[in-house]
Structure 1
Amino acid sequence: MSYADQVFIEMCRDIIDNGTSTEGEKVRPVWEDGTPAYTIKKFGVVNRYDLRKEFPALTLRKTGIKNCVDELLWIWQKKSNNIHDLNSHIWDSWADEEGSIGKAYGYQMGVKHAYKEGMMDQVDRVIYDLKNNPYSRRIMTNIYVHQDLHEMNLYPCAYSMTFNVTKEHDSDRLTLNAILNQRSQDVLTANNWNVCQYAVLVHMLAQVCDMQVGEFVHVIADAHIYDRHIPLIEEMLKREPLPAPKFWMNPEIKDFYEFTPEDVKLIDYETHPQIRNIPVAI
C-alpha cells in the first residue's frame, strides 16, 4: 500500500465521520448554479511523509505529476501571476482579461527584499541560506501579505514553507526537511496535488543544495470536503490502494532555475481510474 493512500484514507474518514458541518452557515464559496457550497471540515490536520521511503503520490486516483510540477515552477521558478505562463487551465476562473491573478502567489515570490547580504526575493533567499547557513531556523517563505490582499484575485491557500536542515549521524550529507502551512484545503481536488508539488520542491532544493531529502510535513488549518464531493470521496475510499511509484528526477540539474516539468517522472505509477467532472466551488 502506498503510504500516501493510507494517510489520505485515514484523513478523509476522520473528516467525514468526526468533522463539523458548515451547512446553514454563511459561507463564501458557491457552486456554478449559485448554491452555497457547504463543507464538512476538521481543524488542524497534520500529515507527515518521509520522502526517503517513498514518493507520496496517491494510487486511489491519478495525480498528474507534470501539471503539478508545471504549476509549482510557475510560482517558485517563473514567479508569475499570469495564467498565460501556465500550461493548464486550473487558474482560469481567477484570472482577469489579461490573464493576471493579481498580486498573488508567484508575484509575491518575485518581490525583492533588502537583506544585509543584498536584495533577494524569497526563493533566492531560501537557496542562499540552504547553501550558506543551513542550520538557520529562519529559512522560510510567506506569500500571505496583508497589504496586498485587496489586489489578489484569490487569497493564498498554501502560503508558507519552512525549511529545516538536520545532520543524520550515519550520513555525510545534510538532510532537508520542510513544513507546508496551508490555511484551507479542498481535500478532493487539491490534497495530493499540493503534497506532490511540495514533495517535488523539497527534492529539487535538496539536489541543488547537495543535500538529501528528509521529512515533508503538511499542516492544514481547515481541511474540508465539500458536500457534493462526499459521494466521490466515499467511492475512492472503497478502492484497494496500490504500491507507491518510484520517483525520478534529472540528476544533471544543479541550478533550480533549470528544472522543467520533463525533469520529474513517476515510474511504475499504477492507479485506479481518474474521477472526472469534479464540481469546483468558486
Structure 2
Amino acid sequence: MSYADKVFIETCKDILENGVWDTDYDVRPRWEDGTPAHTIKKFGVVNRYDLSKEFPIITIRKSAFKGAIDEILWIWQKKSNRVAELGSHVWDSWTDESGTIGKAYGYQLGVKHQYKEGMFDQVDRVLYDLKHNPSSRRMLTNIFNHQDLHEMMLYPCAYSMTFNVSGNRLNGILNQRSQDMLTANNWNTCQYAVLLCMFAQVSGLEPGELVHVIADAHIYDRHVPMVEELIKREPYEAPEFAMDKSITDFYQFTVDSFSLKDYKYHPFKERIPVAV
C-alpha cells in the first residue's frame, strides 16, 4: 500500500479511538447552517515521509494533486494573497471585499527583511542559504506574524518550514497549528513534499525526509462517518512522482512541471462539508 495511506489510516484510527472531543467548549468554527463544528482531536501528531522512497499521496480517495501544487505555488512562488490568482476555490470563504485573504500566507513570504547580506524575502533567503551556506541550521520560514494577525482573514494553519541539509539530502519540517484531517491532511502533505522537491532540485540536492508536525490533528463531527468508511478501504500502491528535471530556477516551475504515473485511487463522491 501507499505509505501515505498507512500513515493517514493509523492517525485517523488513533484520533477516533483515543482522541478528545471539544463538545464542552464554545468553539469558533461553524457549519453552513450555523451549527457549531465540534471535533475529536489528538495533540502533537508527528508524521515522517522519506521522499527518496515514494511520493506521499493517499489512494483510499483521490487527492487533488494539481490543486495542491497550484496553491503552494500561489503562496511560495507568486507570494500572493489575491484569490483570483489561484486556480481553485479553496479560499473563497476567507476572501475579503478587496479580493484577498489579507496579510496572510503568500503576503508574509513576500515581505523583504534586512540581513547582513542584503534585503531578502523569506523564500529567497532560504534559496540563498541553500546555495551559499547549506550547512546552516538557520534556514526557516515563519508566516505567523503576530503584528499582522488582525489583518488576516484566517490565521495561518501551516505556518513554518525548517530546512536542513544532511549530506546531499534536503530535509524539511512542516509545523502546523491545526489540521482538518479529512479535507486537508494529504493536501498539505503532498504540496509540501512537492515544495521540498523543488527546493532540492534548484539547489543541486536530493529530496530527503519531510516531517509533518501537527499540534491539533482533528476530525470534525460531521466528517466522522466519512473517515470511518475511508479507513476501511484497501489502499493501492503509491504512484510514481515525476518533475521537470531541466528547471534550475525556483520561479520557473508551473503546475505542469509535475506529474504522477499510475495513480490509482478509490472513488469518493460524497460532498465534504467545510467548517468556517
Normalised-by-shorter TM-score class: over 0.9
Aligned to 1:123: 123
Aligned to 1:101: 101
Q: Which amino acid aligns with 2:205?
A: M
Q: Which amino acid aligns with 1:177?
A: N
Q: What is the aligned-residue identity percentage?
A: 68
Aligned to 1:58: 58
Q: Which amino acid aligns with 2:173?
A: I
Aligned to 1:26: 26
State whether structure 2 residue 253 is matched by structure 1 residue 259: yes
Alignment of 1:52-91 (within 5 A): 52-91=52-91
Compute the displacement of 1:276 (Å). Answer: 3.2
Alignment of 1:243-254 (within 5 A): 243-254=237-248
> Does the aligned pair in 2 maintain the 1:162–1:179 contact within 8 Å?
yes
| Distance in 1 of aligned mates of 2:244 and 2:262 | 17
Question: Helix, strand or coil: the match of 1:41?
Answer: strand
Aligned to 1:217: 211
State whether structure 2 residue 154 is matched by structure 1 residue 154: yes
Q: Which runs of 5+ in 1 are unaligned?
A: 168-173
The total of aligned residue pairs comes to 276
Question: Helix, strand or coil: the match of 1:223?
Answer: strand
> Does the aligned pair in 2 maintain the 1:22–1:39 contact within 8 Å?
yes
Change (3 A) 1:275 1:136: farther
1:169-218 superposed Cα distances (whole Å, 9 cap, x missing partner): xxxxx110000000001000000000000000010000000000110000
Runs of 4 or more above 3 Å deviation:
none
| Distance in 1 of aligned mates of 2:38 and 2:31 | 9
Aligned with residue 228 of structure 2, among 224, 231, 234: 234
TM-score, scaled relative to structure 2: 0.99
1:82-108 superposed Cα distances (whole Å, 9 cap, x missing partner): 101101110000001221100000000
| Distance in 2 of aligned mates of 1:27 and 1:13 | 23
| Distance in 1 of aligned mates of 2:109 and 2:99 | 18
Q: Which runs of 5+ in 2 are unaligned?
A: none
